[in-house]
Amino acid sequence: MFKPFCTRRPLLSYQRLFSTSLQCKKAERQAILVKTPKGTRDYDDKEMVIRQDLFKSITKVFQRHGAVTIDTPVFELTEILSGKYGEESKLIYNLADQGGEQCSLRYDLTVPFARHLAMQGGKEAQMKRYQIAKVYRRDQPIMTKGRLREFVQCDFDIAGQYDPMIPDAEVLKIVSDALDTVKVPFYIKLNHRQLLDGLFQVCGVPQDQVRSISAAIDKLDKMPWEDVKKEMVKERGLSEQIADRIGKYVLQQDSNILDILEKDEVLMQNEDARKGIADIKLLLDYLDIFQVKDRIRIDLSLARGLDYYTGIIYEAIQTEVEGLGSIAAGGRYDNLVGMFAGTNKRGQPKTIPCVGASIGVERLFSLLMARQDIDKVKSNATQVYVISVGDGLLRERMQLVRELWDAGIKASFMFKNKPKLEKQWNVCEKEQIPFAIIIGKDELDNGQVRIKDMRTKSNQGGGITVARKEMIDVLKDKLN
């Protein structure tokens, strides 16, 4: 169990997360404002160790499930992104018009993946792919909560024509496994776009308002029902009566919600609703086999803002730190590839059904940072530091370090002609280098070196003396 990072080590977290703005003040005194752009930040060497470990463990889960990876450009043609993100489209970064094509920074990894699939022209109609890469949103940044304008997404998607709910179940298993690797407690909210559509139809929402009402409902995790209702009625022009009917459904928090819905005769006359419920039931059956069912909570108020979802949708909510929001989300999007792929020879649209999820690694990174004493993280891989006693011996140290490098040993030395012994020890300590090789006049004269294990604080004197030509073997032995 770990504690919310905001209470455990407030100052350091704050400092790290707000490093941009802290530096700002200093920079403002200078002629040129030296900072990163709003909502972006650098990650230093120790933070990068945490991040890369996180990416690596998530990648391991993705690969365990047979995924390959692809890479796509950071920017896309603007029209590729148009009409895919609903009300969020205003947050897209555009490139300046410098002649040539109009481009925008990618907003997620899903639309570029669909564009990539469409460009394969059916060659890759089946694919399990993961991608770990940066995306861009001109949102109001909340750096403490890991909400940045430039942030990394870890996406996993399964594309292909398969039997219902089988790949969907694997995606949820993957989300679950990935979150388990960082040992964060969570549950998964689950809903179905078709169930939601059916429900809206039954309540009397006009077809052309479904997307808009959906977007309002999606705010229920941040706003009380009264405010959402007000928005639907006042801003989106829904009748109060219809809004109340919707409320009766989406506010239900019952673990037997599916049973309740199935007894709702009006709802069950709606084909979309029936299809949605049947899908969820089949999915839960498969999730039981995958031992993920306990994590699932059906939540009719989950709507997801993006336009492209067509089937089940989900969001993983961590329960450790309050107010940090969801840490993974996704759903099925069967028509997105088709929007790019055009039609086949018979004039039928070429579609590739897809289902996927995105892991919110920036928020996981915030959680991991809170658990860690960042100063203790070793960010270099150096195994050996070559130290001289006495007269500098620069050329001799260079010769020695060259032999180590060429033997594949990670080694460093001080870039000084005559470094002080103490300063050399300090580097060993600060950089947490486990071994020192020490040479002085005596060792040189006798064709020897001294090897000292820096991790044993006990007085072991000057280390052990070995013949120069045995140095590599002795070291390799110690390093294994």
- 423 vs 469 by CB, closer to its own copies: 423
Segment 6-25, which members bind its own copies (CB under 8 A)? 19, 23
Q: Does the annotation flag 110 for ligand binding?
A: yes
Lookup: tokens for 270: 């709606």
Task: Find the shortest distance in angstroms from Cβ 131 to its own copies.
Answer: 9
Q: What's the token pair of residue 116?
A: 């990539």
Q: Which of 1, 11, 32, 266 binds its own copies (CB under 8 A)?
A: 32
What is the distance between the alpha carbons of residues 316 and 338, in angstroms, rounded to a whole number?
28
DSSP state at residue 153: E
Separation CA 37–CA 134 (nearest Å): 15
Binding of residue 38 to its own copies (CB under 8 A):
yes
By CB atoms closer than 10 A (0-12, 13-18, 19+), residue 342 is: exposed
Q: In the window 315-344, what residues touch its own copies (CB under 8 A)? A: 339-342
Distances (CA, A) of 357 to 154, 175, 448: 8, 7, 58
Q: Which one, 249 or 413, has the nearer CB to its own copies? A: 413
To the question of whether residue 308 is assigned a binding role by annotation, the answer is: yes
**Given strand 411-413, what is the order of strands in its sheet?**
411-413, 384-388, 435-439, 448-453, 464-467
Tell me: is residue 397 an annotated ligand-binding position: no
Does residue number 412 form part of the binding site for its own copies (CB under 8 A)?
yes
Whole-angstrom distance, CA of residue 439 vs CA of residue 404 = 14
For residue 315, the 8-state DSSP code is E
> Which one among 1, 11, 25, 163 touches its own copies, defined by CB under 8 A?
163
Consult the annotation and say whether 137 binds a ligand.
yes
d(CA 329, CA 280): 17
User: Toward its own copies, which CB reaches closer, 239 or 291?
Assistant: 291
Contact 308, 201 (CB under 8 A): no
DSSP assignment string, 109-125 = SHHHHHHHHHHTTTTTS
Q: How far is the CB of 342 from its own copies (least distance, A)?
A: 4
Question: Site for its own copies (CB under 8 A): which residue of 26, 263, 281, 420?
Answer: 26
* DSSP assigned state of 160: S
Smallest distance, its own copies to C-beta of residue 71, A: 4
For the window 172-201, what string marks contact with its own copies as x by the rule CB under 8 A? Answer: -x---x------------------------
408 binds its own copies (CB under 8 A): yes
Task: For the CB of residue 26, give the shortest distance to its own copies in the complex, in Å.
Answer: 6
Cβ neighbours of 455 (radius 10 Å) = 9
Residue 246 tokens, joined: 């919707």
Stretch that binds its own copies, among 163-171, 230-238, 242-250, 325-333 (CB under 8 A): 163-171
Query: Quick one: DSSP state of residue 409?
Result: -
From candidates 140, 253, 269, 380, binder to its own copies by CB under 8 A: 380
Quick check: 399 binds its own copies (CB under 8 A)? yes
Task: Specify the residue, 266 or 381, whose C-beta has the smaller distance to its own copies.
Answer: 381
> What residues pair up with 388 in beta bridges, in sequence order?
439
User: Between 10-17 and 361-371, two packed helices, what is the crossing angle to 10 degrees?
Assistant: 140
Contacts of its own copies in 211-270 (CB under 8 A): none
283-312: which residues touch its own copies (CB under 8 A)? 286, 289-291
Q: Does 362 bind its own copies (CB under 8 A)?
A: no
Strand-pair partners of 328: 316, 359
Asked if 429 is part of the footprint of its own copies (rule: CB under 8 A), the reply reads no
Find the binding residues for its own copies in span 94-153 (CB under 8 A): 94-98, 100-101, 103, 105, 115-116, 118-119, 121, 124, 127-129, 134, 136, 138, 150
Known binding residues for L-histidine? 108-110, 137, 153, 157, 304, 308-309
